[in-house]
Structure 1
Amino acid sequence: MHIATRLAHAGLGEDPRTGAISTPIYQTATFAHPALGESTGFDYSRSSNPTRLTLEESVARIEGAHSAYAFASGLAALSTVLGLFSQGDHLIVAEGCYGGTSRLLDQVFARFGITVSYVPVMDTAAFAAAIRPETRAILIESVSNPCLWVPDFRALVALKTEHDLLLFVDNTFLTPYWFRPLEEGADLVLHSASKYLAGHNDTIAGLVVVRDAELAGRVAFLQNAVGAVLGPQDAWLTLRGLKTLALRLEAQQANALRVAQWLKEHPAVTAVHYPGLPDDPNHVRLGDLASGHGAILSFSVADAEQVGQLIARLRLIPYAESLGGVESLITVPAIQTHANLAPEERERLGVRDTLLRLSLGIEDATDLIADLAQALAAD
């Protein structure tokens, strides 16, 4: 089936007893057993819950995976996955990743003896040079946040295969609608499901999707042992969001392209980063890999004072954390998502005080452009 059909049918037919089209919310902590030594398959909702299981099984089918696991947030998912590693293990991570990822690695897991080398996103040779005997995995984003760089994914698959490493991909920005990394050779995919998958800025959730049975078994153990699981209400909201993902992404991507084209021509804008633009340095690489270019763009203005003025003048687009919902949102990465990086590091990575990230929603593009136009207008 086409991916849009698989998404629309997420969870359908999972309640044969009643025939419910919408998956029920099993708001229960525990389950009664039929008799001593017998189980319905559900014992305690930390270990498994029918609503969460329906979400997990639906995502696994959509991704072409062995299994999927739902967590209380994207960082809860990543924290649990990092439990796969031991003291002395080494990870290679793409530079400029989401600030919460680097904070977790540098300020939490570093204390447990897990070391990290950060390398430029697009420099495959740097990934190869960073490999040590104790290296266990490579962690990348399919599209980097917030400058939208695209790694040479197939070269990294070859590299991880040659050196018997794991390849983990944060695919939050592209979702399985546009790109399914497991089908291309990745071992594990992470999603901040709070973003596009749930899609309405009303849910916090994370997903881990695993290609093979052995690794899936290890993640399943950690999910139960750590216990940072997604509750049934949020599992239901995420499942509901999946059903409209294809429609939302098509509308959001169309808006992103129109707004990016308009920003490129605006005299107050000094740079626009969006892989959907034909002259963007990541356009061809992403086009060879994925079926879409995404609905996130970033752009720069001349100075930090203009950033504050623009934020203050916007009337339609909220200044808020997060991305991927039906409402457009604007952020300043240097003081929000990447604030934990040192100023010189942000400068080197292009996350300057003059950079803004715009997540496009499903509003009419004409209204979004009008709001940006009045906010960027000279006094």
Structure 2
Amino acid sequence: MTGPAEDLLRRLAPRVLGTLIRRYGDFDTCEDAVQEALLAAAVQWPDQGIPDHPATWLITVATRRLTDAHRGEVARRRRETLAAALTPVDELVSPAPGRDGGTGVDDTLTLLFLCCHPALSPTAQTALTLRAVGGLTTAQIARAFLIPERTMGQRISRAKQRVKAAGGRFQPPSERDVADRLPVVQQVLYLIFNEGYTATSGANLQRVDLTAEAIRLTRTLHRMRPDDGESAGLLALQLLTEARHAARTGPDGMLVPLGEQDRGRWNRELIAEGIALIERTLARAPVGPYQVQAAIAAVHTEAATPDDTDWPQILGLYQLLQDLWPNPIVTLNHAIALAMVHGPQAGLDLLIPLDSDERTAGHHRLHAVRAHLLELAGEHTAAHTAYLAAARRTTSLPEQRYLSTRAARLPLPG
């Protein structure tokens, strides 16, 4: 299934899961039932058409799966299925008046906070919410964490069991829950957006359903905590990044790097909103990693042409980000900024420690950044080898095509 129906299923999945967890309380079995309902929709909707009330349809089918698996009695199954079918769709997919205690938290955000239960480690919290809320596959989540798929599958399975054992309930988060779980929630929304903006696998470079949902949830989070600098910074970062969406691919679907994009296609409305948001936030809140990344994105978007980019300012921001949030992906971007200010060799030298970092040693991004810097240095043969190495390692077809094309364009001796 592709197109609008697939997008609709992705949007509805976390809300349907939230409804079932509220009713039945068992995270693991409810997710299984929702997955079966989504599979049934993928099979039936292309032939039969999308039902008038798709959320009700999914909840009905998922409820039937639950009752078949756990309740057995024909009479009980009929009552459950009939009740789901007769419940108005608005009541099923959004909190009834007073149900959220006045917090305005929707089911998807409530589900996200449930997944960030304190019984889980930060890594398990993030993985579980990416699976249940973001709809990412285990393989995609594993690539985001730079670990094997099997390891990530085990973590997600254990996380579900721990939430159940700890008595986690589907209910709007308390003020204390919001404060305690906020950093993990922010990280999850950051990763969901990143997966949507540059999909780790498949034929499409971007998944607008994920970026749109991440922005929607981050807006909700920002409304909940308007004085939290990192929630505002995360929203600004997403807006400023999403503003470049239309310019990231050419007419043939080829990836267009930032320095070659048609800046006239950038969304100036999103840029204005993002810049205003980060400027207000930096003036009043303690600086955090998302705010710094938003500031970097703002510097890029304020440049009328690539040559106008204030690379010394970007370099300073990356140095600050490296202090606040040291990780290999930051180092890769730091290396590019360093190369733009002090020359490609300086950037290449910064990459050397990543060759022995198990998180990046075999990752395509390290090879891609090294290839770019080698090309800038005029070392075309080495750049050609690095581009092809990156192309072999990525599971994204648009990235693979872009990297292979870059390699083919290099002038090689003989």
- Larger Rg: 1 or 2? 2
- Between Structure 1 and Structure 2, the one with more helix by share is 2
Q: Which has the higher strand share?
A: 1
TM-score, length basis structure 1: 0.25
- TM-score, normalised to structure 2's length? 0.24
Higher RCO (C-alpha 8 Å, min separation 6): 1
